[in-house]
Amino acid sequence: MGYREEYERWLSMFAADADTVNELKSIAGDEKEIEDRFYTELAFGTAGLRGVLGMGTNRMNIYNVRRATTGLARYLIAQGVQDRGVAVAYDSRIKSDVFAKETALTLAANGVKAYLFDALRPVPVLSYTVRHLGTAAGVVITASHNPPQYNGYKVYAADGAQLGPEAADAVTKYIRALQYADCVPMDEKEALDKGLLRIIGAKEVDDDYIAMIKTLAQRPELLAARGKDLRIVYTPLHGSGNVPVQRLLKELGVHYTVVPEQEAPDGRFPTVKAPNPEDPNAFTLAIPLAKQVGATVAFGTDPDCDRLGAAVQDGQGEWHTLTGNQIACLMLDHILSSKKQTGALPENGAAVKSVVSTELARAICDDYGVKLYEVLTGFKFIGEKIQQFEETGSHTFLFGFEESFGYLSGTQVRDKDGVNASLLLCEAACACMDRGETLYDALQRLYKKYGYFKEKSISVTLPGKDGVAKIASIMASIRENPPREVAGLRVLAVRDFKTGIRTADGKEEALDFPKSNVLYYEIEGGNWLCIRPSGTEPKIKLYVAARADTQPAVDALNDRMATEAQRWLE
């Protein structure tokens, strides 16, 4: 069926829904918009669903939420685990609460008990809840740090990590076998009366979650002694981090100020272009407030509070926004140095990073005798490593991170955790105060000790059907014409994660990674490049990483590599 026929089918199928009909009729003369909404179905992958809000097969709406939920319910029933129920959470985005209730009531209609939160919660709280309550799965309604016109539907497995590729494929088969008419929610009162809907909150989860986070402090006595001297500015960027992060900071005794304009939940995100702490512009309000109140650190979490970004003041009073790699290395060094100082560094300690994250982490881990593992992009793969460590007893997990501002130091959450990260950043800042330095000083100390590393991420947005084809064309062209050198430096090896082969000097070896459409180039001097399509947005992403002995040298090399490699995306 073509996109035009599907459009007409929706007008007929949902004729009783006046809002849907009116919205679809409003685009009747816009052929390009109709095509984009109906040329494909919103894909269900390892991150669930994510898309622009609106009516259509390729949009986030109640009908696609009901269909995905019915598919998930039938998958759980087939696995025989439906009696354990499903935890459901949501963030501050537009219609997140609506989609969450639709999810809970559609689960109930399939005989699967839903544990629905009484208000918005961060992604890591949902991950914790799945493990804490022992549910069969979890769903959180969020589009993370995407612009306000997006929303999404993330699914978590029983281990608290995002659904793996095999499970996602299985759920997809159930979804595709369904008609929209098969996916009808139960009445709310009926669900409550039958015990198929339970509303949960602080008593069931929040108190235990915050208590667990506090156990992740490396040196709690340091926080107790110096936390009151620390001056922090925090912005939740209109998201779900507001309540738990403020509660944590209060209970830690840290002196903090919240950016008032960005405190209240608001899915329009009116004070930022995008609610993304990766973007330095997210700190446009936080840094002036920090100057006003005498703070030396400002940090922010995204709407679902799984990411944390930060800006820090140097000794001369200048402010610097940090990259996710820099924040992660400050946390990693703090964890390892604290454990070594207290005699708690395990002989089998391990850290995990994504393949596109900084190699500075490897230098730090090598120095402390800690094994560093690499996984594909997607925190579910870090969650898988934690599970492997626990099942085999081979390693003790210490820290995991992605360059995209996601960090985790505990094991009771299996996704990146902005509340956990808030604790680590505050504690690292206190440790710096104790040494008479700033977080910025600590970062420069790491560079002087291990070498200068600089990474840059470049994204090109290519929306719609034409964008999908363009991204595929770019990846195919690079595979067919691989670079032999970049910025005058030889390419030593190519890792093609799609074929699962690493090629160096004409010799091939198998990669021990899941198959993924990712190309990684190892370049002489410890430099590298990586290119991949985004799994959650209509983007192709390029990662450029340079290493040198001085800051000016690494800046110049990174710029040359980026300029040359960016032409690949044209």
CB 415 within 8 Å of CB 161: yes
CB 64 within 8 Å of CB 57: yes
Complete edge-to-edge strand list for the sheet that includes strand 371-375: 371-375, 349-354, 396-402, 406-408
What are the C-alpha distances in Å from 393 to residues 348, 389, 390, 396? 9, 5, 5, 8
Angle at 183 between CA 180 and CA 185, to 5 degrees: 135
Type of residue at 204: E
The alpha helices in 155-285, defined as continuous H runs, are 165-176, 188-193, 207-214, 220-226, 242-252
Phi, psi of 116 (to 5 degrees): -100, 130
Tokens of 499: 């074929």
The candidate with the shortest Cα–Cα distance to 526, out of 447, 446, 451, 442, is: 451
The rounded distance, in Å, linking the Cα atoms of 46 and 59 is 18
What are the C-alpha distances in Å from 371 to residues 351, 363, 377, 451, 556? 6, 11, 19, 19, 31
The rounded distance, in Å, linking the Cα atoms of 238 and 270 is 9
The rounded distance, in Å, linking the Cα atoms of 38 and 33 is 9
Catalytic residue among 144, 354, 404, 409: 144
> 192: exposed, middle or buried (C-beta count within 10 Å: 0-12, 13-18, 19+)?
middle
How, if at all, do strands 539-548 and 527-533 pair? antiparallel
What are the C-alpha distances in Å from 551 to residues 367, 489, 546, 555? 21, 19, 11, 6
**Secondary structure element (H or E) that encloses residue 337, with its range:** helix 324-342
Phi, psi of 378 (to 5 degrees): 125, 115
Phi, psi of 255 (to 5 degrees): -85, 115
The candidate with the shortest Cα–Cα distance to 376, out of 497, 474, 233, 288, is: 497
Phi, psi of 549 (to 5 degrees): -90, -15
- Residue 26 bears catalytic tag: no
Torsion of CA 90, 93, 97, 101, to 10 degrees: -70
Type of residue at 260: P
What are the C-alpha distances in Å from 328 to residues 170, 321, 360, 409, 433? 34, 13, 10, 11, 19
168: helix, strand or coil: helix
Residues counted in the chain: 570
Report the catalytic residues. Answer: 144
